[in-house]
Amino acid sequence: MRESQLDPSASPLKAFGAQLRKLRKAAGLTQTQLGWRTNLSDSQISNLERGTRNPTLDWVRLADKAIDAGGTLELTYWSLNGSSLLEGFPEYAAQEAKARGISHFELGIIPGLLQTMEYANAFALAAVRRGSITEEQAADRLDFLATRQRLLGQRSTARLHFVLDEGALLRTVGGSKVMARQLAHLEDLASRPNITIQVAPFSLAEELPFTMVVTLLTMADRSLLAYSECQLRGFLARDADTAQAWERDYHQLQVEALPKAASLEKIRKQGVRGTS
């Protein structure tokens, strides 16, 4: 079957189709072979690649495994069907998966990439109880988080730097046992050569430069992207002025935060205190 030309910019569905075709070919599979592995006909695979058929999440996960995409195809799917996620976040996550470096600060909670699933689940269930999201949306968010974590775990060359708000260590989320395991998880992550975790102590007071979520992505071409979010949506800033201003403040935060060893000791002590 002759394959048609694709225009990824035409729509999110066609962008998904273009990514599917690219990954399929990289895996050395024909449309027929991918169809055999995912229980679709070659014409149905063709329709998916041309952007004339909507994929289901179950099929995307099956195809992701079949072409050994490591979650990349699923991330592309979420950019198409991200209604369970904060508006604007799928666009950010697609860039996060390609970034060579990630720098992140967040007030009050452990950043998503560092969360255990039970810690993340506690927040998701609380949102369900408040009526902010449905149980299905909560499950989608946890699945999406697991995909992001898995993708970054496979890329040991990516440099990850996190500054944790001290309040995130003190706030018991999900109960004392869940929180103790979360703190132990932070200790484990901090031992990895590509991950640096610092703590911004309360003593920084008014010197703390951010009162919002801030993420800086260093891309392969050395460009810098900046991301933040409010209660309703996320914002990915591509203009250099914004990114450079945030980078300057983030570098100052790194200087003012506790050093790596002292940060790890604070995390460890809080974990011991929480289980005593």
**Residue 70 shares a structural domain with residue 97:** no
Q: Identify the pLDDT of residue 275.
A: 62
The domain total for the chain is: 2
pLDDT band at residue 1 using 50, 70 and 90 as cut-offs = very low
Query: Is residue 151 included in any domain, yes or no?
Result: no
What's the CATH code of the domain at 266? 3.30.870.10
**Residue 69 shares a structural domain with residue 170:** no
- Is residue 270 within 8 A of residue 181, CB to CB? The reply is no
Give the C-alpha distances (Å, rounded to integers) separating 265 from 62, 183, 190, 269: 42, 11, 11, 6
Is 90 exceeded by the pLDDT of residue 74?
Answer: no
**Residue 75 shares a structural domain with residue 163:** no
How large a percentage of the chain has pLDDT more than 90?
72
Is 60 exceeded by the pLDDT of residue 2?
Answer: no
Give the C-alpha distances (Å, rounded to integers) separating 171 from 71, 110, 166, 168: 32, 10, 9, 5
**Residue 73 shares a structural domain with residue 94:** no
Is 80 exceeded by the pLDDT of residue 256?
Answer: yes
Query: Is residue 18 included in any domain, yes or no?
Result: yes
Task: Return the half-sphere exposure (C-beta side, CA atoms, 13 A cut-off) of residue 264.
Answer: 12
Pick the last residue of a domain from 57, 79, 101: 79
> How does the average pLDDT of the chain come out, rounded?
91
Query: Is residue 179 included in any domain, yes or no?
Result: yes
**Residue 99 shares a structural domain with residue 176:** yes
**Residue 105 shares a structural domain with residue 169:** yes
Q: Identify the pLDDT of residue 86.
A: 84
pLDDT band at residue 50 using 50, 70 and 90 as cut-offs = very high
pLDDT band at residue 6 using 50, 70 and 90 as cut-offs = low
List Cβ neighbours of 210 (8 Å cut-off, separation of 6 or more): 105, 107, 249, 250, 253
Query: Is residue 191 included in any domain, yes or no?
Result: yes
**Residue 110 shares a structural domain with residue 222:** yes
Q: Identify the pLDDT of residue 113.
A: 97
Q: What are the tens digits of pLDDT across the range 62-71? A: 999 999 987 8
Query: Is residue 178 included in any domain, yes or no?
Result: yes
Q: Residue 39: give the domain boundaries.
A: 8-79
**Residue 73 shares a structural domain with residue 163:** no
Strands 159-165 and 101-106: parallel
**Residue 171 shares a structural domain with residue 265:** yes
pTM of the model: 0.85
**Residue 185 shares a structural domain with residue 262:** yes
Query: Is residue 109 included in any domain, yes or no?
Result: yes
Task: List b or e across 230-239, with b for residues whose CB sees 16 or more CB atoms inside 10 angstroms.
Answer: eeeebbbbee
What's the CATH code of the domain at 74? 1.10.260.40
Q: What are the tens digits of pLDDT across the range 179-221? A: 999 999 999 999 999 999 999 999 999 999 999 999 999 999 9
Strands 224-229 and 234-237: antiparallel
